[in-house]
Every structure is written in structure tokens, then in C-alpha cells.
Amino acid sequence: MNNLQHPVSYITGMTTNRASLLLQELGVRTCNDFLHLFPFRYIDKTTFYKINQLQNSQAEVQVIGKITQIKTVKQQRGSRLVATFIDETGTMELVWFKGVKWIKDSLKINTPYVVYGKLNSYNNSFSIAHPEMELLTAHQKKIHSSMQPVYPSTETLTNKGFSNKVYRTLMQNLFVQINGRFEETLPNSLLQSEQLISKREAMLNIHFPKSQELLAKAHTRLKFEELFFIQLQLLRKKLIRQSKFKGFVFENVGTHFNNFYKEHLPFDLTNAQKRVLKEIRKDVASGVHMNRLLQGDVGSGKTIVALLSMLLAIDNGFQAALIAPTEILATQHYNALAEMVTPLGLSISLLTGSVKAKQRRIIHQQLEEGSLHILVGTHALLEDKVQFQNLGIAIIDEQHRFGVAQRSKMWQKGNVALKLPPHILVMTATPIPRTLAMSLYGDLDISVIDELPPGRKEVKTVHRYDSNRLAVFKFLKDEIAKGRQVYVVYPLIQESAAMDYKDLMDGYESISRDFPQPQYQISIVHGKMKPEDKEYEMQRFVKGETHIMVATTVIEVGVNVPNASVMVVESSERFGLSQLHQLRGRVGRGADQSFCILMTDFKLSDDAKIRLKTMVDTSDGFQIAEVDLKLRGPGNLMGTQQSGVVNLKIADLVKDTAILTKARNMAMAILQDDADLSKPENSLLKKTYTELQKRQGLWANIS
């Protein structure tokens, strides 16, 4: 076989049934897919232990010795078979609970065996249950791959008889069929400079390692290759965008920008905000299309940077747009921006799903005439009917909540006559660890606001058990007496919506008992309410008419109540770290000291303990994101629709940071020297790159 794109059914021994199982369970379609199902661990049969060397910690061991005695022991149900097994250093037991009669008849006394299995220890004596056994004479005649691969599986595969042994046999058959022919994907010069083994050697040793050393080399080679080609695609995408897509030039820093900066800026910019603004100004003045990701923790002042970027556009005769994922967040942005731009004599409108048809027509007309300077809104902005006269910059907030196709629509809103897309600034308050940013957004320029504005007090975070509830309620009453407001948040997990709703209602009743009317007023917000009822309750809280807001995580994004000083998170062990961090960001928006109280039961998993300790110990979003990445892995961290590029076969973004950095630097150096990969020495790279582009169909220009 010379084409690895053949269906898996081409593999000797692969029945139609097995092929459809592999597709259904693991998404494996071609022989190449099957080859890239890498083992996740190996059974090491290189070492033979003496019985006196055995220790509690060893999971699986291999021993040579003889059976000296066999006995059947009666138990409550049936009987077990126990064999005394010895070598020259000591004694242990081999035990069987099933197939007792058949096994007893097949065992040979005083004959050397190789025994392999999981070691159990009791009262300082060792035993192996249901060991793998082979006569020493038979073992010595075989050719051994010293380490046996263990392949990824699922319950269905195992139940249908697709065992690890079947995997190994099919993999061996495929290797025989392709006769060890693997096309090299990396040029010789790169293999030598990075001291990497060949593709053929790597594939052979990842599936059938000859030694620990060769297995390590295979891992390094395949991880490097995987990360290198991801970086090559992302960086080349960036180069193509910079050379092919010209951008509007904002050459003037004009009246509106200067007037706002000198007269109306609500606070002095932090050094981080100034640095980011400088990066954006450099982009928009360069004639190249800007595609920048702005990361900043909750409350770090991204909105001011966004506004100043819009004013740059307006001073150069362009319009600006800001798009947010929810109506609440869009309205909040609109209110904050309107307050700041109205004194400058600029026009700003809000466009969401609930804007009436008459108002929509006015907005559409003003946009096309160019008399509307800034449009803020939700997905409603993406509709074809929304046409700008001259859109110069589009800002996308909480950008991971938008799909690629939706983001691409903003491109088409640019100047049709000049065929130029608007500059794009995407913002996120979800800090992304550096390794993940390199792989998810490697084609964007990244800016980070990594300091909070002066005067912002850090939110004090504590962990309390349910048994401390009375003390917590007393603390809430003290805060309300000072004129503050309180959030109490319950988890919302779709699969158990009924249970979550019950928890929320039970909690609401309990709080109503402890905080009785008319002294205390309580709002409640949850997913089953009509949008207008939800909005009414939210507004009561925003206006300060209610003291406590009891809610599910609908308040995670987009409620800004500076007077709210306490966030109580119920069953906080059920929340992810980034969710907890976002929730905590809802308080601490005013000048008062704010608090976040994480309530839990006594029973906590190890992961939950780490999450809660991290929240109590730090408020640094990037540190929290690093811990989250370690706990959850990259795919889960970004949500399924974002995990495409990090759906890795062998590399691990948490553990392989050094390899990722090396791969990115190497890809950058090659592209700086040969952007089109047209030099003869890069022909292999060009070939693999082109095939990957075909197979993965990466969106060429929109990140």
C-alpha cells in the first residue's frame, strides 16, 4: 500500500464492523488517521525484577521463577486458585478468581515461567492476580518489542472486543503493508539543527519502541512536527494578510482624540493602557490591515482603549462599530460610551434584536449617510441590511463567543469601493495562557493590559463551608447596612437544569426567610424567565431598588453595578476557574472594599480544592488561566468551537511549552527568509503545508 489516505478497511484484518466502530468512536477514517492514534502509555517489559526487589509502588512487574505449589481455596462464592511462585530471592503468590479448573490443569510445577502483571501487596507479601504467563523457553524464542503500546479506547470499543491486542495486531499489519515507507515532512537541515530523528524512525518507535531512549526521541520529533506546522500555517496566514490586505491609514491624531484625551479622560491611563494604545496607533498608521487581540482582566480598562481607537478612526473620516455577544453587554457598552462621546458632539446608536423597526430604519439611513459615527450592538450588526458608509474599525468584545463565519461578516462591512476591510480589534476578558494564545491566535498581534487602574481595590476572596452560613448571612446584613448590594449566584449546568432550578428556588426561599421584607428587597433572575421580566429584575438591582440579586450565571457577563460589594457563589466547587474569576469581576467596580465568598460542601475533589485555593490566593487572571489550562486541557478551556487548532494528536500545550517556542521560532526564521516557501530546500515544507491547507481548510484571513 502506498497511499495512506485509503480507508482503514485496506488494513489486513480490519473488518467492516471494526472500521465503522473506529469511525463512530474515534473519528478514524483513513490509514493515516489510524497511524496517528498514538499510544498513551507503554507496558515496559525490558526489566525483570527479583522477588526481593519488589516494592509497593510498582504498578506492573515482570518476574522469572517457578511454581512450587498449587491450591484451591474455597470462598463465599466459588473458589480461587493460589499458586506459590518462587525465585532464588523469595516467594510470592499468583491468584486466579476465574477459569480456575482450566488454569489449574494448564500450570506446570517446577518449570521456569515469565510472569507479568499488576502487583498487589498485603502484610508485606506480594501477589499478582490473573498474571500474563509464558514458559521461559517460549519467551526466549520470540522477537520482543521491549515495550508494549497501550492505545486510546472507549467503553464501546472494549465491549465490542476491540481490545488493545487487536489494536497492536492491526497496527503491525499496517506497518508490514506500507513496508516502513513514510514520507519525510521536514528538511534535512532542520532535522540536523534540531537533532531530530527521521519520520520513519519516529513512527516505528512511537508504536513499537526499541528502547526508552528511542521512544523519547520519537515523542520529541512528532511533537515538534505537529507544533511546527501549526505555527507555520498561523504565521504564514499573518504574513499573507500583512502583504495582501492593505488597511486604511489613520494618519491624523485629530481633534476628537486630543480633546477627549486632554479634557474628558475619566482617569489617568495606566502604563499598560498607554503601551497597548501605542501598538494600535502604529498598526493603523502603517497601511497594513490591523488584526489585533486585546487581552485584559475584568476591570483593566479595555473599553477606554477601544474608545480611543474609535476616535482615531473618526478623526480620519471613518465610522466605528463595537459588537458584543449579549444585549446586556451591548447596552452596558453603549451607556458607558454614550456618556463619554456625547460631550464631543459625536453621534452614537445602539442596535440589538429588540430595537423597533422604525428606529432601525433611522439607524440604517444615518449609517449609510455617514452621519452616525459609532454603532454599538449585538449580532444584529452582522445583518446584510446594516451598511456603513465608511467603516474604519470594528471592535469585537468577548470574541470567543462569536464563530469565524460571524466574524468574517464584519470584514465585508468595510469600504466596498476601495475593497478594504475595517481594522479589527478583538477583546477578551478571559486571560489566555501564552502557549494557548500562540496556538489559537498565533496569526494575530497580541496586546495585553496587565495592570489595574489606580484606586481599584483587590477583591478579598474567602472559602467558607455550608456550616458557616449564619456567619456569612450576618456579614451580608452588615454590608447591606452600609448601603451596599449583594449577588448570590447558583450554578447552572444544562444537563441538570431541573435540579439547578430547584437549588436556586430553595436558596431564594432560604434567603427570603433570613432577609425578610420590607427591610430587605430581593431580585431573582434565571434562565426560565421571559427576557422582559429578567431585564426588569436586573434594572431594579442596577437602580439600587433591591439589596440582593439571587441569580444563575446569567450575570457572568455584562452587569455593572459599582455599588455591589459582595459576590456569594453557592456550590462554587461546581464552577470552572475562569467562570469563578469572571463572577468575581462583577464586584470591586466601585471605590469600596469588595468581597467574594466561595461556599461549598465539605466533600471536595482534589481539582475543586486546587481551584478554590487558586481563587483565594490570587486575582491575577493570567495565573488563574495557567492553572485552569493544567486542570482542564486546552480544548475544554476554549470551548468546543474554539478547540479546532488545539485538537492535537501528540503534543501537549501545558507540558510542551519549550518545544512549542522552539517550533514557532524556527517557523518564523524560515518564513522571514522565504515567505512563499519557494526555495528548493523548503520544497518538503511547501508540499506538507499545501496538503494540510487542503485537509484542514483553515479560514484564510479571519482569525
| 404 lies in the same domain as 490 | no
| 54 lies in the same domain as 197 | no
Largest CA distance in the chain: 99
| 173 lies in the same domain as 279 | no
Residue 166 to residues 22, 146, 149, 153, 160: CA-CA distances in angstroms? 12, 18, 12, 11, 11
pLDDT above 90 for 582: no
Residue 322 to residues 330, 353, 377, 397, 425: CA-CA distances in angstroms? 8, 15, 6, 7, 9
The pLDDT assigned to 272 comes to: 92
For 166, residues 6+ apart whose C-beta sits below 8 A from its C-beta are 18
pLDDT above 60 for 192: yes
Does 363 reside within a domain?
yes
Does 644 reside within a domain?
no
For 328, residues 6+ apart whose C-beta sits below 8 A from its C-beta are 538, 557, 558, 559
pTM above 0.85, yes or no: no
Question: Which residue in 426, 120, 449 sits closest to 291, CA to CA?
Answer: 426
For 690, residues 6+ apart whose C-beta sits below 8 A from its C-beta are none
Does 229 reside within a domain?
no
219-270 pLDDT, tens digit per residue, is: 999 999 999 998 898 888 888 777 777 888 898 888 999 999 998 888 889 9
What is the number of other CB atoms lying within 10 angstroms of the CB of residue 350? 23
Give residue 402's domain range: 255-449
Q: Give the CATH number of the domain where residue 575 resides.
A: 3.40.50.300
| 531 lies in the same domain as 611 | yes
Does 636 reside within a domain?
no
Which residue bears the cell 528548493? Answer: 680
Least confident of 235-244, 318-327, 402-411: 402-411
Q: Which of 576, 591, 618 lies at the terminal end of a domain, its last residue?
A: 618
1-36 pLDDT, tens digit per residue, is: 667 889 999 999 999 999 999 999 988 999 999 999
98-148 pLDDT, tens digit per residue, is: 888 899 999 999 999 999 988 888 777 899 999 989 899 888 876 555 678
| 82 lies in the same domain as 21 | no
Query: Where does the pLDDT of residue 695 fall: very low under 50, low under 70, confident under 90, or very high at 90 and above?
Result: low
Task: Using DSSP, state whether 544 is helix, strand or coil.
Answer: coil
Most confident of 299-303, 334-338, 499-503, 638-642: 334-338
| 267 lies in the same domain as 333 | yes
Query: Where does the pLDDT of residue 499 fall: very low under 50, low under 70, confident under 90, or very high at 90 and above?
Result: low
> How many folded domains does the chain comprise?
4
| 171 lies in the same domain as 263 | no
474-488 pLDDT, tens digit per residue, is: 999 999 999 999 999
The pLDDT assigned to 529 comes to: 80
The pLDDT assigned to 142 comes to: 63
pLDDT above 70 for 69: yes
DSSP symbol at 456: P
The pLDDT assigned to 556 comes to: 46
Q: Give the CATH number of the domain where residue 66 resides.
A: 2.40.50.140
All three cell numbers of 21, joined, read 466502530
Does 169 reside within a domain?
yes
The DSSP string of 278-305 is: HHHHHHHTTTBPPEEEEEE-TTS-HHHH
The pLDDT assigned to 565 comes to: 92
| 390 lies in the same domain as 504 | no
| 158 lies in the same domain as 196 | yes
Query: Where does the pLDDT of residue 578 fall: very low under 50, low under 70, confident under 90, or very high at 90 and above?
Result: confident
All three cell numbers of 610, joined, read 486546587
Does 198 reside within a domain?
yes
Q: Which of 449, 476, 502 lies at the terminal end of a domain, its last residue?
A: 449
Which contacts of 476-480 are long-range, i.e. CB under 8 A and separated by 24 or more positions?
Answer: 476/515, 476/548, 476/566, 476/568, 477/515, 479/565, 479/566, 479/595, 480/520, 480/547, 480/548
pLDDT above 90 for 196: yes
Q: Could you give the CA distance from residue 331 to residue 351 in angstroms, rounded to a whole number?
A: 9
Task: Using DSSP, state whether 420 is helix, strand or coil.
Answer: strand
| 572 lies in the same domain as 479 | yes
Q: Could you give the CA distance from residue 295 to residue 301 in angstroms, rounded to a whole number?
A: 10
Tell me the pairing of strands 147-150 and 41-44: antiparallel
Average pLDDT over residues 280-297: 89
Does 681 reside within a domain?
no
Q: Which of 206, 223, 246 lies at the terminal end of a domain, its last residue?
A: 206
| 504 lies in the same domain as 364 | no
| 50 lies in the same domain as 36 | no
Does 356 reside within a domain?
yes
pLDDT above 50 for 698: no
Q: Could you give the CA distance from residue 423 to residue 392 in angstroms, rounded to a whole number?
A: 6
Q: Could you give the CA distance from residue 345 to residue 22 in angstroms, rounded to a whole number?
A: 64
Mean pLDDT of the residues in the chain: 85
Asked whether the bond before 325 is cis by omega within 30 degrees of 0, the reply is no
Higher-confidence residue: 17 or 701? 17
Q: Could you give the CA distance from residue 333 to residue 303 in angstroms, rounded to a whole number?
A: 8
